[in-house]
Amino acid sequence: MRGEILTFRRSAPGIALARRALPPNVPMAFQPDDIRRLARLARIAVDGGEAAHLARELSGILGLIDQLQAVNTAHVEPLAHPLDVVMASTQRLRDDRAEPAIDREAHLANAPQAEGGLFLVPRVLE
C-alpha cells in the first residue's frame, strides 16, 4: 500500500527522504478501526468504505510525518509562535470593559434552528 503513495510523476527533493522513511511492504499503519476511533474523537461519521479509504490515505500521511522521528531534537525548545525566534512576544491584555451592544437576532439568523432566543439542538442528555 505504501508503495502506491510513493508513485510520483515528477520528483521533488522531499521524495527521496520520504522514500527512505517508508520501506516497501510495511503493513498499513492505520486500520479502519483506528480511523473509526479517530473519527469518533473528531465527531465525523464515516461509513465502512470511507474508513478503509481513509486508513490507506492516513497511513501514507503517517509515513510522511514519521520522518520527524529521525531528527535529534534533544535540548531544542518547541517553537509555538514563529516570532519567538527573534522577539519575546507575550500576550497583550485587554482592559476589563464590557461592551453590551450584542445583536442577538443577527446571531440567531444564522442558526439552523432557534426559538425564544435559544439555539435549539436535539435533546441533551446529561
Partner 1 sequence: MDTTLHALSARLRARQATAVSLATEHLERIGAAAPLNAFLHVDADLTLAQAREADRRLAAGDPSPLLGLPVAHKDIFVTRGWRSTAGSRMLEHYTSPFDAAVVERLAAAGMVCLGKLNCDEFAMGSSNENSAFGAVRNPRDPARIPGGSSGGSAAAVAAGLVPAATGTDTGGSLRQPASMCGITAIKPTYGRVSRYGMIAFASSLDQGGPMAHTAEDCALLLDVLCGFDARDSTSIEDIPADKAHIWRGFQAENAANASPGKEFAGLTLGVPREFLADGVAPEVRAAVERAIAAMVARGARRVDISLPRTALSIPAYYVIAPAEASSNLSRFDGVRYGHRAADFRDLNDMIERTRAEGFGREVKRRILTGAYVLSHGYYDAYYLQAQRVRRLIAEDFQAAFRQCDLIVGPVAPTTAWKAGEKSADPVAMYLEDIFTLGVSLAGLPGLSVPCAVDAGALPVGLQVIGNYFDEARMLAVAHRYQRLAEAGS
Partner 2 sequence: MRMPAGWEAVIGLETHVQLKTASKIFSSAPTDFGAAPNTQANAVDLALPGTLPVLNRAAVECAIKFGLAVNGGDDRHIAARSVFARKNYFYPDLPKGYQISQYELPVVTGGQVEIEAGGARKTVTLTRAHLEEDAGKSLHEGLDRPGVSGIDLNRAGTPLLEIVTDPVMVSAAEAVAYARALHGLVTWIGICDGNMQEGSFRCDANVSVRRDGDPRLGTRAEIKNVNSFRFLEKAIEFEIRRQIEVLEDGGAVVQETRLYDAERDQTRSMRSKEDAMDYRYFPDPDLLPVAIPRQWVETVRHSMGELPAAIASRLSAEFGLSASDARQITQTRALADYFFALTAALGGGHRLAATWLLGEFSAALNRAALEWQEAPIGPTRLAALLLRIQDGTVSGKAAKEVFDALWDAEGDVDAIIAARGLRQVSDTAAIERLVDAAIAAHPKAVEEYRAGKDKALNALFGQVMKASNKTANPGQVTELLKKKLAG
Residues of this chain that bind partner 2 (CB under 8 A): 37, 40-41, 43, 80-81, 89-100, 102, 104, 107-108, 113, 115-126
Grid cell 527521496 is found at 16
Handedness of CA 10, 16, 20, 21 (dihedral sign): negative
Binding mask 48-67 for partner 1 (x = CB under 8 A): ------x--xx-xxxxxxxx
- 85 scored as a contact of partner 1 (CB under 8 A): yes
Grid cell 510495511 is found at 26
CA atoms in the 13 A half-sphere facing the CB of 10: 1
Nearer to partner 1, 83 or 98 (CB): 83
Nearer to partner 2, 20 or 107 (CB): 107
